Structure 1
């Protein structure tokens, strides 16, 4: 067999997995999620970052300054965890906290110039991870895969 023909064959461990398990989309997604999460966590750790750092910096870069509560909604980070994440980012000068002029009890969080540079490095790191994770897929298949995942997630987010 050629390399192209063997690329679609399951590995030996998968051959011992019952067919009905190998056909379950939920199981496949769960297994891929575990591998993806490990790759992302390990890669971000190598550049002294965590997934939540990326989520906050990306949100601030794309949507602009926000309160802690708004950042929590945008990123999916629990409000109780957001303070710790922001403390880490502020301690490294990646974000700035300033009192909200409309409500002095609230802070407005802004990405700093250093945070923008760090975010670009995290983007490159995650691009490398995604290239590794999606290596067996062509560029068109990768785009289709992301579109399908986005559609599924959107459907289940709206209906749950």
Structure 2
């Protein structure tokens, strides 16, 4: 394939919604990661603390399902956060095989700081949009991503 042909193929995908959504997601993740790094926290650590702030104490398995993270990866993130005193793990008195995760006061404080950092990153991401455009974008992306609980084609 000639260089000219390769360039055309590479640029022809730039108008596809899938490519554009991927680029927007990558930019958003990078901005959030940059803002979270100021608090010495990573994206998945933030997701865990945020989920615990929202859901309260929860089993480690339920936590993984809530944030769509593999159980082995959840265990690693939880272990790191526990080592920093941001959450605790304890055996579930109802099921000795299960572990209950609870966010600590320091974890809650950091989760609030990270929520503000995430909001600042999203403000930067959407700075060129009006409030109405932002609301419309969130509505459209929610529908496309099917994050509202709607079944996807692969689950039907």
Normalising by the residue count of structure 2, what TM-score does the alignment of the two structures yield?
Answer: 0.84
Residues 1-56 of structure 1, C-alpha deviations (whole Å, 9 max, x = no match): xxxxxxxxxxxxxxxx85x4343111111111221222122221121001111111
Q: Does residue 76 of structure 2 align to residue 106 of structure 1? A: no
Question: Following superposition, which runs of at least 4 residues in structure 1 exceed 2 angstroms of deviation?
Answer: 20-23, 155-160
For residue 131 of structure 1, the aligned residue among 111, 114, 123 is 123
Match of 1:49 in 2: 41
Tell which deviates more after alignment, 71-80 or 24-33: 24-33
Normalising by the residue count of structure 1, what TM-score does the alignment of the two structures yield?
Answer: 0.82
Task: Report the CA distance between 1:68 and its aligned residue.
Answer: 1.0
Structure 2 gap ranges (5+):
1-9
Task: Report the CA distance between 1:122 and its aligned residue.
Answer: 0.2
CA RMSD of aligned residues (A): 1.8
Match of 1:27 in 2: 19
Task: Report the CA distance between 1:158 and its aligned residue.
Answer: 2.6
Match of 2:7 in 1: none
Task: Report the CA distance between 1:157 and its aligned residue.
Answer: 5.2
Q: Does residue 114 of structure 2 align to residue 122 of structure 1? A: yes
Structure 1 gap ranges (5+):
1-16
Alpha-carbon distance change, 157 to 31 in structure 1, aligned in 2, over 3 angstroms: farther
Return the structure number with greater relative CO, CA threshold 8 A, min gap 6. Answer: 2
